[in-house]
Amino acid sequence: MAVREDVTFTVGASGKDRISAWFYRPTSDGPVPVLVMAHGLGAVKTMRLDAYAERFSAAGYACLVFDYRNFGDSEGQPRQLLDIKMQLEDWSAAVAYAHTLPGVDKSRITLWGTSFSGGHVIATAARLPGIAAVVSQCPFTDSVASLRAISPVTVARITARAVRDLIGAHAGKPPVMIPTAAKPGDLGLMTAPDAYPGYLRLVPEGPAGATMRNEVAARFGLKLSTYRPGRSAKQVRCPILFWVCETDSVAPAGPTLRYAAQAPRGEVKTYPEGHFDIYVGEAFERVIADQISFLDKHLRTVT
């Protein structure tokens, strides 16, 4: 059985902010591959990433699961500020820290991301040398496609709140928040019929769930439209698995499949589930089995 440790590492030249992470160390002998993992839009590691890491570690893989700055157990102010550039810096810092972990094979560092972080791992693998493999689960690959899945009225409301938040930030005011997931007709970044109940299924019971915040600083809405990490897929030279939900209401399958076709060593698995279905139940079991099969194929052959 794997041992889980609470660890921290710093990010940025000043090293001011500490990032909170879990390190899962399997009982396997010798250096083992390590998966660097983080969650999606406004989510934190306690939202079932432990379920994934436990299964990966049981299969012989070390896992480093972290919260972004400003979220969860990590430091950083203001809280709930989602900044794409900062999150990509956090990925780089996490990969650098993974190189220092005891018992891991530095030549087999793998990136695992889901939803919004599914896009981050594409961009990170294209930028950082030495990544052995990538798993990109139901990934956000194209902002234009995702925005088209939202009604124009909702987009306008998000933009208005984002502008108000940005103006307030310049005046030194606290962030104006916007729900990450909301019911259809309500204001939120994800308002498809399956978004709010799907989000709630990921929230843990007990104290951890009670303190969880379903919101981010609204200014993120102004930066979203320019982020298209799928365009980096053609620059990813290592094996990359695109795990695509055919009925995805948040990250439409079409653009992801087109980007996946451009990856030199891309592989695709498609499933009939929606965006939030794959974290729980029978769909989760199929996902884990397929992802471990991919990891075994590309990481177990390295000597």
Q: DSSP class of residue 185?
A: T
**Amino acid 14: pLDDT:** 61
Residue 126 has pLDDT above 80, yes or no: yes
Write the DSSP assignment of 34-46 as a string of letters. EEEEE-STT--TT
Q: Give dist(CA 114, CA 37) in Å, integer.
A: 9
The enclosing domain of 31 has a CATH number of 3.40.50.1820
Q: Is there a domain that residue 206 lies in?
A: no
Q: Is there a domain that residue 294 lies in?
A: yes
Q: Is there a domain that residue 39 lies in?
A: yes
Share of the chain above pLDDT 90, in %: 85
Would you state the structure tokens that stand for residue 251, as one six-digit string? 């990250």
CA 105 to chain centroid: 23
Q: Which of 202, 37, 54, 69 is nearest to 136 (CA)?
A: 37
Q: What is the pTM of this model?
A: 0.95
* Phi–psi pair at 276, nearest 5 degrees: -100, 0
Sheet with 32-38: list strands edge to edge: 3-11, 17-25, 62-66, 32-38, 104-114, 133-137, 240-245, 266-271
Question: What is the extent of the structural domain holding 129?
Answer: 3-149+230-299
* Phi–psi pair at 17, nearest 5 degrees: -100, 135
Q: Is there a domain that residue 176 lies in?
A: no
Residue 149 has pLDDT above 80, yes or no: no
Please state the domain count of the chain.
Answer: 1
E-assigned strand segments in the chain: 3-11, 17-25, 32-38, 62-66, 104-114, 133-137, 177-179, 215-217, 240-245, 266-271
* Confidence label for 118 from pLDDT (cuts 50, 70 and 90): very high
Would you state the structure tokens that stand for residue 60, as one six-digit string? 């012989």
Q: Is there a domain that residue 51 lies in?
A: yes
* Confidence label for 1 from pLDDT (cuts 50, 70 and 90): low
Q: Which residue shows structure tokens 């199929």?
A: 286
Q: Are strands 177-179 and 133-137 parallel, antiparallel or unpaired?
A: unpaired
Q: Is there a domain that residue 168 lies in?
A: no
Q: Which of 265, 299, 240, 295 is nearest to 107 (CA)?
A: 299
Q: Is there a domain that residue 36 lies in?
A: yes
Q: Give dist(CA 291, CA 114) in Å, integer.
A: 12
Would you state the structure tokens that stand for residue 112, as one six-digit string? 């695992």
Would you state the structure tokens that stand for residue 210, as one six-digit string? 């009670």
Q: Which residue shows structure tokens 């989602």?
A: 82
Q: Is there a domain that residue 156 lies in?
A: no
Share of the chain above pLDDT 70, in %: 98
* Confidence label for 30 from pLDDT (cuts 50, 70 and 90): confident
Q: DSSP class of residue 234?
A: G
What type of residue is 42? Answer: G
Q: Give dist(CA 27, CA 43) in Å, integer.
A: 29
**Amino acid 301: pLDDT:** 58
Residue 125 has pLDDT above 60, yes or no: yes
- Give the pLDDT confidence of 220-249 residue by residue, as tens digits: 999 888 899 999 999 999 999 999 999 998
Reported as type and span, the H/E element at residue 208 is: helix 207-210
Q: Give dist(CA 31, CA 287) in Å, integer.
A: 26
- Decide which of 181 and 2 is more confident: 181
Neighbour-count burial of 183, counting CB atoms closer than 10 A to its CB (0-12 exposed, 13-18 middle, 19+ buried): middle
Longest dimension (CA), the chain: 56
Residue 302 has pLDDT above 90, yes or no: no
- Give the pLDDT confidence of 252-272 residue by residue, as tens digits: 999 999 999 999 999 999 999
